[in-house]
Amino acid sequence: MPSGPTLRFLGAADSQGVPRWWCACSVCRDARGGGVNARTRPSVLIEGPERVLIDAAPELRLQASREGLTGFSAALITHAHNDHVLGLGDLADWSRWTGARCPIYAPREVMEALAARFPYLQTASYRARTPLLALEDAACSRTFAGYRVSALRVPHGFNGFAYGFRFEGPGGAWGYLPDCLDLADLAPWRGLKLLVLGASFFREAAPKAGRSVYDVQEALALLAELKPKRALLTHLGHGVDARQGAPDGVQYARDGLVVPLP
């Protein structure tokens, strides 16, 4: 195991998970039988001086149980879509029953959406333990597992917008960018030590106007431009078959994968 900080993939699927419960494609059949394509929706965990959760998938309770986790120091949320936030109820229940505190940070506009979606988190019994805090207010005074975080608004196709996170630490910079399409401002994402990028299909047939995430071919083209030292693809739907292996130069994320961080 790495001796320094790590990134643990609690879930590496797209918004519908793999298997899709209604689907009989080859990838979903493999996943349903416990094959390499079985993956839950996207949460990751930075493990360093503290444990920082990024996004709270609907399966968070199952992910934490599977990985033997007992809690988190803080949580960062990229955007307020179901596949990234429905586990916040599990997080709040853990905090309530253990008495542990886990602040939830998000860019201000995302935090406001979370407050509207989860009004009970604003009540006295939860507010002290799992407060919803604007990341902008913490950016000058708080590090997360030893990293300074920049939240960067990115296009999310027909789904509007999301945020990606750029992390700066003593060993260099890395990025987490699970949900975007047609990234315009490339500068913050160039030359990273590690970039985790979302790609839901190997080759997406749907018109781009109705899409929200890169496919693998588009992700490869973007990575060739950005040139990270290491690249992993996440947010993988049933259009990506892990049995075939990832293309040269990238790695497919999977549930339970642990990689070193700079």
User: Domains in the chain, please, with CATH?
Assistant: 6-260 (3.60.15.10)
Q: Give Cα separations from 59 to 15, 55, 171, 181 (angstroms).
A: 11, 11, 32, 25
Give the count of beta carbons closer than 10 Å to the beta carbon of residue 101: 14
Mean pLDDT, the chain, whole residue set: 95
Q: If you compute the radius of gyration of the chain from its CA atoms, what whole number of angstroms results?
A: 17
The Cα–Cα gap between 48 and 224 comes to: 30
| Contact indicator for 172, 193 with CB cutoff of 8 Å | yes
Give tens-digit pLDDT for 178-212. Answer: 999 999 999 999 999 999 999 999 999 889 899 99
Give tens-digit pLDDT for 214-237. Answer: 999 999 999 999 999 999 999 999
Query: Who's near 165: CB < 8 A, 6+ residues apart?
Result: 54, 76, 78, 149, 150, 151, 152, 175, 176, 177
Give tens-digit pLDDT for 32-59. Answer: 999 999 999 999 999 999 999 999 999 9
Residue 138: pLDDT band (50, 70, 90) is confident
Task: Decide which of 219 and 140 is more confident.
Answer: 219
Residue 140: pLDDT band (50, 70, 90) is low
The Cα–Cα gap between 101 and 115 comes to: 18
Give me the helices (H) in the chain, please: 26-32, 60-67, 82-85, 88-98, 108-117, 124-127, 135-138, 216-226
pTM: 0.96
High-pLDDT (> 70) share of the chain, %: 98
Angle subtended at Cα 240 by Cα 238 and Cα 246, rounded to the nearest 5 degrees: 160
High-pLDDT (> 90) share of the chain, %: 91
Give the count of beta carbons closer than 10 Å to the beta carbon of residue 171: 14
